[in-house]
Amino acid sequence: MSDWDATYDAIGAANGGLDIEEPSGKFMNNANLGPAIQAGKVTEATIDEKVRHILGTAASYGWLNRDQRDTSISFVDAKNKEAALDSAREGAVLLKNTGNLLPLDRSAVKTILIVGPDSYPGVPVGGGSAGVVPFHMVSALEGISNEVGATTTVLYDRGVPTLEHLASATEFTTEAKGGKAGLTLESFKNLDLSGAPATKTVARHAVLEGLTIKDVIANVDAVIEMLFNSPPSEVSHRLTGFYHAATPTKYIFALEDSGEGSGNRVYVDDKLVIDNWKIVRAFQPHVTLELAEGAHKIVVEEWQKSPIGGHVELGIVPEDKVVNPQAVQLAAKADVVLVEAGFEQESEGEAGDRTFALPYGQSELIREITAANPKVIVAITSGGNVDSAKWIDRVPAVLETWYAGQQAGQALAEILFGDVNPSGHLPATFERNAEDNPTFANYYPEGDSKRVDYKEGIFVGYRGYEKNKVKPLFPFGYGLSYTTFKFTNLKFDQNGSGDEARGTASFDVTNTGSRKGAEVAQLYVTEDHPKVPRPEHELKGFQRIELSPGETKHVEIPLEARSFSYYDVAAKRWAIGSNRFTISVGDSVESLPLKTGVPLKSSGN
């Protein structure tokens, strides 16, 4: 099955193994495949095989002989709610906890400020096809309010304006001097702004209404109906106006777009400052520019070729004015502050990238809050790492909570106050700088091509950082706890016979702290003297172990021949290059206290 609109050639797709083209048969249809079959370019056996795959799958799931909706299952189910809560509890990763600020002492916290765009309402998921709308979303504000009860005062402030508010508060004129209030809006019946505009009007603000991913999730049935029944159209727009900087200082330019099905760019004084024209590099890009006092020419251009798209909002604000002063005042009064930072459906989702930096104003918010109160916890809602260079040294505690679902706020509250001991470990490496990522130089196509060369090869993720000798901010597998653990007694018993290389690694894990907790033990394999380039460490097994204070558990992780193998491209098979390996065990790729040499009895070739 293809991704939506990811098929470009009927014959190539048919012969390449594709069974179903989504969302419709734009290429794999009778008009294209019928003549191809007649010409011998696609065989009837190939089509028959696709039919067997589709019908076989349908039959195996009972789709052909029974109704697929079970009306006896409740939409609001207590077991599912508990599963969602457990997932949020166990997924959170404690990244920093200087001075053991966490867990919070209930008796000492009389007033807590919850601040940040993701504080309320909560954000269960990012944007895109996987988006769901829960019956009830527990935000951080609600979860913590429920957790502390009437004994603690809970304060709240969003901290920074929404982009909708920011765009509506950003004033323009059609001319540098005089002119009308607003921007000149030109509309074209093509994708490249060519020729004379079809219409020319004045827009009050730098806003174009259009369909966003959030709109799609909220009205998915209606949107799908529209996608199949709307005729194709190609339009583009240009907004031109002048922004009058009141003082010479730094200004934040924040843009929001639809991503899929459209492109956009922003010019300031004829200089391109935001470019999503060919590739959606960010749903909600922002840039900070030094502006002189006076008028500055602003141009926003956009194109759209599908019903999803066409949404644009541009807001401009002085950097020193983006944070609500009331939030800072409240922070100074609180015993502790939780900053709920991160992304939302409008700023992170599919069909486009997002910024490595936190959304506009959030880094400034964290810096101003920490200046007012040193006891600050930052909880990040995101699908991956964010740029924390400007504030992480000022913050004693940081949690990565990901998109934690409908019970996110409840789980966060339980972790903050110690009802739950965080046990999550990073499934990815968190870099210090975007440029540190092994894929950074090869991420986008070169020039105007659509070709991306994966020059990093197998050295992605932690493998690339180790190869490049780049120390990340937080390594793969990293995660703190409110207790401590110790690894001991690593052994490897090889039980293979003949040409098979297999065995079992065993070791002990002890909770050496005073709280019940869970550790994620990780096992890595290293070939001591590889004949081909191989990673310094390769994760081959892991296990989550729950331990009471002082308790020790024995852990066994089986290893197969594949655990020691690399893929031999020339021979087109998995192969073991030598019989000398090292097994390492610990709680992250950088923290591996246990090591043992492994002389394999067989090379496995």
The domains of the chain are located at 10-60, 80-160+323-422, 163-320, 485-599
What is the mean predicted confidence (pLDDT) over 102-127? Answer: 96
Tokens representing 424 are 């999550």
More confident residue, 257 or 432: 432
Average pLDDT value over all residues in the chain: 93
Q: How far is CA 503 from CA 414, 441, 585, 594, in A?
A: 40, 39, 15, 17
Identify the band that residue 269 occupies on the pLDDT scale cut at 50, 70 and 90: very high
What's the pLDDT tens digit per position in 378-418? Answer: 999 999 999 999 999 999 999 999 999 999 999 999 999 99
More confident residue, 504 or 497: 504
395 with 368: CB under 8 angstroms?
A: no
- Look at residue 603 and tell me whether its pLDDT is greater than 60: no
Please classify residue 505 by burial: count the beta carbons closer than 10 Å to its beta carbon, then call 0-12 exposed, 13-18 middle and 19+ buried. Answer: buried
Q: Structurally, what CATH architecture does the domain formed by 80-160+323-422 represent?
A: 3-Layer(aba) Sandwich (3.40)
Give pLDDT, residue 501: 83
Give pLDDT, residue 230: 67
Range in 1-15, 26-40, 200-214, 451-465 the model is least confident about? 200-214
- Look at residue 79 and tell me whether its pLDDT is greater than 70: yes
First to last CA, the chain: 35
The fold of 163-320 is: Jelly Rolls (2.60.120)
Pairing relationship of beta strands 336-342 and 376-381 according to DSSP bridges: parallel
Please classify residue 252 by burial: count the beta carbons closer than 10 Å to its beta carbon, then call 0-12 exposed, 13-18 middle and 19+ buried. Answer: buried
More confident residue, 74 or 430: 430
Q: Which residue has the tokens 């558990």?
A: 553
What's the pLDDT tens digit per position in 221-262? Answer: 666 666 666 666 799 999 999 999 999 999 999 999 887 778
Give pLDDT, residue 602: 66
Identify the band that residue 507 occupies on the pLDDT scale cut at 50, 70 and 90: very high
What's the pLDDT tens digit per position in 561-580? Answer: 999 999 999 999 999 999 99
- CA-angle at 277, arms to 224 and 253, nearest 5°: 100
What is the mean predicted confidence (pLDDT) over 317-341? Answer: 98
380 with 400: CB under 8 angstroms?
A: yes
Q: How far is CA 330 from CA 110, 368, 598, in A?
A: 13, 12, 59
Identify the band that residue 66 occupies on the pLDDT scale cut at 50, 70 and 90: confident
521 with 585: CB under 8 angstroms?
A: yes
Which residues, other chains included, contact 517 with Cβ-Cβ below 8 Å and sequence gap of 6+? 421, 423, 481, 482, 483, 485, 511, 546, 547
| Domain 485-599 sits in CATH 3.30.70.60 | no
Give pLDDT, residue 259: 78
Identify the band that residue 55 occupies on the pLDDT scale cut at 50, 70 and 90: very high
Residue 450 CB neighbours (<10 A): 8
- Look at residue 309 and tell me whether its pLDDT is greater than 90: no
Based on its alpha-carbon atoms, the radius of gyration of the chain, rounded to whole angstroms, reads 28
Nearest by Cα to 148 from 278, 327, 313, 336: 336
d(C-alpha 307, C-alpha 86), whole Å = 38
Give pLDDT, residue 605: 52
Please classify residue 66 by burial: count the beta carbons closer than 10 Å to its beta carbon, then call 0-12 exposed, 13-18 middle and 19+ buried. Answer: exposed
What is the mean predicted confidence (pLDDT) over 174-182? Answer: 95
Nearest by Cα to 201 from 255, 241, 257: 241
Tokens representing 338 are 């939780």
d(C-alpha 598, C-alpha 582), whole Å = 6
Identify the band that residue 330 occupies on the pLDDT scale cut at 50, 70 and 90: very high
User: What strands lie across the sheet with 336-342, from one edge to the other?
Assistant: 93-97, 397-400, 376-381, 336-342, 111-115, 153-157
Give pLDDT, residue 310: 82
- Helix 408-416 × helix 140-148 angle, to 10°: 50
d(C-alpha 586, C-alpha 265), whole Å = 47
What letters, b where the CB count within 10 A reaches 16 and e where it falls short, cover 358-391? Answer: bbbbbbbbbebbbebbebbbbbbbbebbbbbeeb
CA 589 to chain centre: 22
User: Please, how many CA atoms are within 13 Å of residue 169, restricted to the half-sphere of its CB?
Assistant: 13
Reported residue count of the chain is 605
